[in-house]
């Protein structure tokens, strides 16, 4: 019995290793069905995404870092055209592409198209558009999905 247990354990570990190695690598985020709940639920989910993905550069208060990362508070970039904002999140930006009140922001923003799902992007943009003194409409998952398809 003592010799059978180690052999069985090795077999189980080897099977798990082979299963892990044969899983296809995911290059695009999984698209899920839109989450229910409207603005309040989107804000809750979006805050979690913001704190995990965006807050380090744009800061917890959304005021960014001078000449490095732009503020998200009360700017045309956040409160203006949703399509342009969605495109920025999907494709990222090179440094110097954003100017706010005469200040250029030089840090590049990495694209999030392979990192965040359509739902996560919709939620975080809804959160940003309704935090830091901003007040704007919800970003729908369908708007993100349409822009992602357009940019392919």
Spatial separation of the C-alpha atoms in residues 31 and 124, rounded to whole Å: 16
Please tell me the number of Cα atoms within 13 Å of 147 on its side-chain side. 23
Higher-pLDDT residue of 17 and 138 is: 138
Specify the range with the lowest mean pLDDT, choosing from 28-32, 62-66, 69-73: 28-32
Specify the range with the lowest mean pLDDT, choosing from 5-9, 47-51, 140-144: 5-9
| Residue 45 in tokens | 């989910």
| Residue 21 in tokens | 């190695």
Residue that is written with structure tokens 């809804």 in the block: 126
| 35 confidence band (pLDDT: 50, 70, 90) | low
Average pLDDT, the chain: 84
The pLDDT assigned to 126 comes to: 98
Beta carbons within 8 Å of 83's beta carbon, 6+ residues apart: 143, 147
The pLDDT assigned to 22 comes to: 37
The pLDDT assigned to 34 comes to: 58
Kindly list the distances between the CA atom of residue 137 and the CA atoms of 5, 26, 125, 134, in Å, as whole numbers in the listed order: 60, 32, 10, 10
Q: What is the CATH number of domain 31-151?
A: 1.10.760.10
pLDDT at 1 over 80: no
pLDDT at 137 over 70: yes
pLDDT at 68 over 70: yes
């Amino acid at each position: 019995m003592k010799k059978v247990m180690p052999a069985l354990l090795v077999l189980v570990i080897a099977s798990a290793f082979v299963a892990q190695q044969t899983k296809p690598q995911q290059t695009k985020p999984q698209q899920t069905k839109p989450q229910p709940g409207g603005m309040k639920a989107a804000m809750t989910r979006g805050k979690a995404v913001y704190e995990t993905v965006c807050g380090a550069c744009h800061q917890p208060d959304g005021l960014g870092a001078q000449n490095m990362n732009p503020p998200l508070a009360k700017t045309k970039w956040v409160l203006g055209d949703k399509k342009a904002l969605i495109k920025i999140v999907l494709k990222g930006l090179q440094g110097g592409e954003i100017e706010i009140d005469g200040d250029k922001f030089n840090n590049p923003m990495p694209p999030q198209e392979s990192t965040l799902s359509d739902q996560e992007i919709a939620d975080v943009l809804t959160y940003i558009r309704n935090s830091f003194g901003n007040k704007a409409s919800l970003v729908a998952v369908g708007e993100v999905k349409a822009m992602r398809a357009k940019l392919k």
